[in-house]
Amino acid sequence: MPELPETETIARDLHGAVVGAQIMQVDVLRRDVLRETTVVKLGRLLPGRVVARAWRRAKSIVLSLDTDVHLVVTPRFTGALILGEPGCPDDYACLRMQLADGRELRYTDVRRLGTVTALPAGALAAWSDALGPEPLDADFTPERLAECVRGSSRAVKAVLMDQKRLAGVGNIYANESLWRAGIRPSRRAATLTRVECTALHKELRDVLGAAIEARGTSFRDYRDAFGQRGGYAPQLQAYGRGGKPCARCGATLQSSHDIDGRATVWCRGCQS
């Protein structure tokens, strides 16, 4: 599913492309993606409004309008926000927003597991406050990461993916950062030393930054705001490489679904 690098890429694309654009019409084609809002409410809140900012929080893209309204889109596994020509054929389109300049911003989702929510400022703040810190923020220090994992008996990979403890990190980048830091994903989070937390902090930020620079990771469904694939997949050293040689020590990479039912890849030779 789109994680921090993918949603950050989409948010940056949209901020550069639609800030100042006016929404003229909203067509909801699949109501089941709506959360805490209705077709009628969207039809009342969005038309005539201007996009003031596009930004990311955790794994969601937020379109802040020139009123006290924020459209929060969480793509989950197969969702995408695509900016293009109006009426583009799309069997999986869930919502289409017509812009005054003739373009269309549509939310498309094959499995319809993603969500679209319209929130006033107070509700947006409450939603954001329930999430963990952003790993790329300037004030996210190694000590802050240690606070996120301290006291948990859960696997460190599960803690990294817990959005209430740390925002934006999912399965791909949890696997990658733990491999880079030489930490076994199944280790109890509370057993990490200060040195290990410092190493994990560096590798986590490095891998997220590199993935953003490559515009995210595409395997099947992820596309940026212009419908293009991300380019980070060739740089992956752990995720999706179970059974292949470790790029660091040559041992065979192991794979299982024992942690939260998600694919975990690690090296028995150099992750401890």
pLDDT of residue 151: 85
Question: Minimal CA–CA distance to 82: which of 228, 230, 231, 226?
Answer: 226
Same domain (yes/no): 174, 88: no
Any domain includes 186? yes
Catalytic site residue from 56, 59, 180, 223: 59
Domain-located, residue 66: yes
Task: Tell me how crowded residue 156 is: count the other CB atoms within 10 A of its CB.
Answer: 26
> Can you give the pLDDT at residue 150?
85
- Tell me which amino acid residue 10 is: I
Active site residue 234: no
- The question of whether 2 is a catalytic residue gets the answer yes
pTM score over 0.75: yes
Nearest to 23, CA basis, from 44, 51, 1, 58: 51
Both 109 and 149 in one domain: the answer is: no
Q: Domain containing 81: what range?
A: 4-129
**Catalytic position from the list 3, 8, 104, 196:** 3
Q: Rounded to 10 degrees, what is the CA torsion of 232, 233, 235, 239?
A: 130
| 163 within domain boundaries | yes
> Both 33 and 119 in a single domain?
yes
Task: For residues 50 and 104, state if they share a domain.
Answer: yes
CATH code at position 201: 1.10.8.50
Is 3 annotated in the active site? yes
Same domain, 109 and 161: no
pLDDT string in tens for the chain (272-residue length): 799 999 999 999 999 999 999 999 999 999 999 999 999 999 999 999 999 999 999 999 999 999 999 999 999 999 999 999 998 999 999 999 999 999 999 999 999 999 999 999 999 999 999 999 999 999 999 999 999 998 899 999 999 999 999 999 999 999 999 999 999 999 999 999 999 999 999 999 999 999 999 999 999 889 999 999 999 999 999 999 999 999 999 999 999 999 999 999 999 999 99
DSSP assignment string, the chain: ---HHHHHHHHHHHHHHHTTPBEEEEEES-GGGB-S--HHHHHHHSTT-BEEEEEEETTEEEEEESSS-EEEEE-TTTEEEEEE-TT---TTEEEEEEETTS-EEEEEESS---EEEEE-HHHHHHHHHTS---TTSTT--HHHHHHHHTT--SBHHHHHH-TTTSSS--HHHHHHHHHHHT--TTSBGGG--HHHHHHHHHHHHHHHHHHHHTT---SSS---TTSPPPS-GGG-SSTT-TTSBPTTT-PBEEEEEEETTEEEEEETTT--
Residues 167 and 247 in one domain: yes
pLDDT score recorded for residue 144: 97
- Catalytic residue of the set 112, 144, 248, 262: 262
Examine the residue annotation and report whether 111 is marked as an active-site residue of this protein.
Answer: no
Using CA of residue 175, residue 170, residue 111, residue 214, what is the dihedral sign? negative
Distance CA 116, CA 207 (A): 28
- 52 and 125 share a domain? yes
User: Is 135 a domain residue?
Assistant: no
Burial of 250 (0-12, 13-18, 19+ CB in 10 A): exposed
In the chain, the number of structural domains is 2
Round to whole Å and give the CA distance between 104 and 229: 20
Residue 188 shares a structural domain with residue 79: no
Domain co-membership, 190 together with 220: yes
Domain of 67, CATH number, reads 3.20.190.10
Q: Are residues 148 and 124 in the same domain?
A: no
Is 272 within a domain? no
In a domain, 137, yes or no: no
Residue 34: what pLDDT?
A: 98
For residues 169 and 71, state if they share a domain: no
Return the pLDDT at 220. Answer: 85
Give Cα 150 to chain centroid, integer Å: 24
Partners of 70 in the beta sheet? 64, 119
Would 25 be classed as within a structural domain?
A: yes
Q: So what's the pLDDT on residue 256?
A: 97
In a domain, 254, yes or no: yes
